[in-house]
Structure 1
Amino acid sequence: MRACTKLILAALPLAALALPLQAQAQVTKIKSNPQALILDAAEVKAGTDMIFVSGQLPAPLDPAKPMSELKSPDDFGDTKTQTISVLGKIKTVLEKQGYTMADIVKLTLFVAADPKLGKLDFAGANEGFKQFFGTAENPTTVARSTFQVAALVSPVYLIEIEAIAAKKK
């Protein structure tokens, strides 16, 4: 038998091992407390498709109003309303790329104080979050970090959210 043929035959079992490894590409969501709003962690194995969604800001309540006239958070709603708007935008970005909200493994929330409350509205952000996670449509949740920031790009915004989604190839 020629050396080249021996090398190919020797490599076949190794190639066969590589196929199951690719098939095992997966995302594991880790949650120790079933009642918890967010995950403890998310594990993304090699070979998994991923998308990183840039920080998204809320849309104005009246999309017909010119940006130059949008002067206060009232033009965008409270923290809950803005959270729903931002997560809706993230959902649209993901769907255009073939992902769903259930594919999100990590969210980072940047929340500014609501001038009406004089503080961060963490409860409002969570209420908006609950419209997209732990629902009949999407029973999953995500790993998440929330940061209070002094301000966002404009004082009209109360929240900005970035996302990482992953799914099997």
Structure 2
Amino acid sequence: MKKNMKTKIAATIMGISVLAGATMVSAGNGINLLKISEVTFFGTPTSSISSSVAVPQNYNRLSFSGTVPPLLNNKGITTYEKYGDTKTQAIGILKKFEEDLAQKGLSLEDVTYLRVYVAPDPNKGNKPDYQGWFDAYAQFFNTEENPVKTARSTVGVESLVSPDYLIEIEAEVAYKNKNK
């Protein structure tokens, strides 16, 4: 009986070890992450986002706080008149990132991760308009001009700081110090 139990324990440990090894290889696509010298994106070619991003230690990082949409019309009465729908708001935020990055000598190609909060849209059944966000993202990432596919989280939230905001985005950026 004790020998049978030891065999089961050994088999379980071996199974876990094999599974952990397969997971590690799959997460890094067989790449030794300790040896990378450039930002490396992982994932399937058919996905519009990366499943993970490795940033080597010789890169600097820049984090954008939650960024909200720009005001389009200060005389507007409705959310759509003031800020637009989710897609319009997301495009406004991504353009803000693009402009801010350009002033810093960077571009959207340096973005590695986006964390996105989508609030309910009263004109869309009071549900988050995820498709509006996905359509906006598709104009800036995984394109011919910018082939980068960021890692990304999209989270539906009850509300944002203003009831007129339908989306808020945080960004992580990685860039090499050009002075070294």
Shorter-normalised TM range: 0.7 to 0.9
Give the number of equivalent residue pairs: 140
C-alpha distance 56-70 of structure 1, shift in aligned 2 (>3 A):
farther
Instruction: Could you tell me which runs of 5 or more consecutive residues in structure 1 were left unpaired when the two chains were aligned.
Output: 1-23
Deviations 1:48-101 (A, max 9, x none): 011111111111223xx2xxx555321111111111001111111111112110
Distance 1:48 1:123 in 2: 33
Asked whether 1:161 is paired with 2:149, we answer no
- Name the counterpart of 1:99: 106
**Structure 2 length normalisation: TM-score?**
0.74
2:78 to 69, 72, 76: 72
Distance 1:138 1:103 in 2: 10
- Name the counterpart of 1:4: none
Asked whether 1:54 is paired with 2:60, we answer no
Amino acid at match of 2:171: A
SS in 2 for 1:53: strand
Distance 1:39 1:79 in 2: 23
- Name the counterpart of 2:25: none
Amino acid at match of 1:167: Y
- How well do the aligned residues superpose, as a CA RMSD in angstroms? 1.4
Distance 1:41 1:26 in 2: 14
Distance 2:89 2:127 in 1: 16
Q: Which has the higher helix share?
A: 2
1:86 to 89, 93, 106: 93
Instruction: Could you tell me which runs of 5 or more consecutive residues in structure 2 were left unpaired when the two chains were aligned.
Output: 1-35
SS in 2 for 1:139: coil
Contact 1:49–1:168 (Cα < 8 Å) also in 2? yes
Asked whether 1:34 is paired with 2:57, we answer no
SS in 2 for 1:156: coil
- Name the counterpart of 2:155: 147
1:134 Cα deviation after fit = 1.4
1:141 Cα deviation after fit = 1.1
Amino acid at match of 2:139: Q
- Which of structure 1's runs of 4+ aligned residues deviate more than 6 A? none
